[in-house]
Amino acid sequence: MNLEESIKLTVENKLKDGSIEKMVSDYVEKGISESLKELFGWSGDARKVIEGQIKSVMVPYLENYDYSQYIVKLDSVLADVLNKVTGDNRKLLSNFKELMATDVEIREVKISDVFKKWCEYVSKNVETDGLEVTYDDGPSYESVEVSYEFEETEERSWLKQEKGRIIFECEHDEKMNVCIDVYRWDDIHKKNQWSFSVDDNCNLNSLRHIDEFKLYLMALKQANVYIEIDKTYDNENVYPEKEPEAYYE
């Protein structure tokens, strides 16, 4: 049997068992599917016709619809969205304004004034769990004892730079504690005048969440303000701003 007869016989057999018919059917189905995909695609003619019909019905309906009943609800929703979206940004802008607000004419601040600022921070943020409640003038938490101490490293005659640290401590809540590293050059600074270090690795994210006392220190540092050690130690009793719920037995 030659090649031509072999091909003829194969085609006859495929026609008899339906193989060619199935292949043709598959390709026709595939061709129709691809054609429909193109017709209903982004720039297909069928899509354009359907889109035109939808527009002709919906646009006039939407133009004539009364939306007044939804205005109040829409305003409330938009206000809520804006508050959520801009809340952190308002905090960031507020902190940035505070950071840049230090009077550039101020050259130094007394450590006793820094201590008062820290006491305000403690009053606003100290943990109240475990504190007794008094009812003399309405319910309030008992005070917490706070203090600061200036520690200076031993001087060396051959060292130009002197170092020390200022430690703010809250006996009740250690999370309030702060340590400020200070330094001075004996040929530049006055006797009780100290420069200080503060974590100034500040990006937008950290500025958004920074606490107010650290922000205060950063503002002083930004303005090149020195710390004057007018007192090496002081203590105070600070009352928490948070008020307990009234409860009477």
DSSP string, 73-89: HHHHHHHHHHHHHHHHH
Tokens of 139: 């319910």
Query: Higher model confidence: residue 96 or residue 116?
Result: 116
Tell how far CA 80 is from the center of its chain.
Answer: 18
Confidence of residue 180 (pLDDT cuts 50, 70, 90): very high
Residue 187 has pLDDT above 70, yes or no: yes
| Residues 6 or more apart in contact with residue 208 via CB below 8 angstroms | 88, 89, 91, 92, 95
Residue entry with tokens 């129709």: 32
Average pLDDT (228-232) is 93
Confidence of residue 174 (pLDDT cuts 50, 70, 90): very high
| Residues 6 or more apart in contact with residue 181 via CB below 8 angstroms | 163, 164, 165, 196, 197
Q: What is the pLDDT of residues 203-225, one digit of tens each?
A: 445 556 678 888 888 888 888 89
Supply angle C-alpha 242, 245, 249, rounded to 5: 140
Q: What is the pTM of this model?
A: 0.58
Residue 56: per-residue pLDDT: 78
Least confident of 8-12, 34-38, 202-206: 202-206
**SS3 for 190?**
coil
> What is the sign, positive or negative, of the torsion defined by CA atoms of 63, 64, 68, 73?
negative
Residue 137: per-residue pLDDT: 74
Q: What is the pLDDT of residues 37-85, one digit of tens each?
A: 887 777 777 778 778 777 777 767 666 666 555 555 556 665 665 566 5
Least confident of 78-87, 170-179, 205-214, 225-234: 78-87
Average pLDDT (133-151) is 89
Residue 173: per-residue pLDDT: 95
Residue 19: per-residue pLDDT: 74
Tokens of 148: 């600061």
Answer for the pair 198, 218: CB distance below 8 angstroms, yes or no: yes
Residue 146: per-residue pLDDT: 96
Residue 88 has pLDDT above 60, yes or no: no
Percent of the chain with pLDDT over 70: 71
Query: Higher model confidence: residue 74 or residue 199?
Result: 199
Average model confidence (pLDDT) across the chain: 78
Residue 145: per-residue pLDDT: 96
Residue 138 has pLDDT above 90, yes or no: no
CA distance 233 to 111: 10
Answer for the pair 171, 142: CB distance below 8 angstroms, yes or no: no
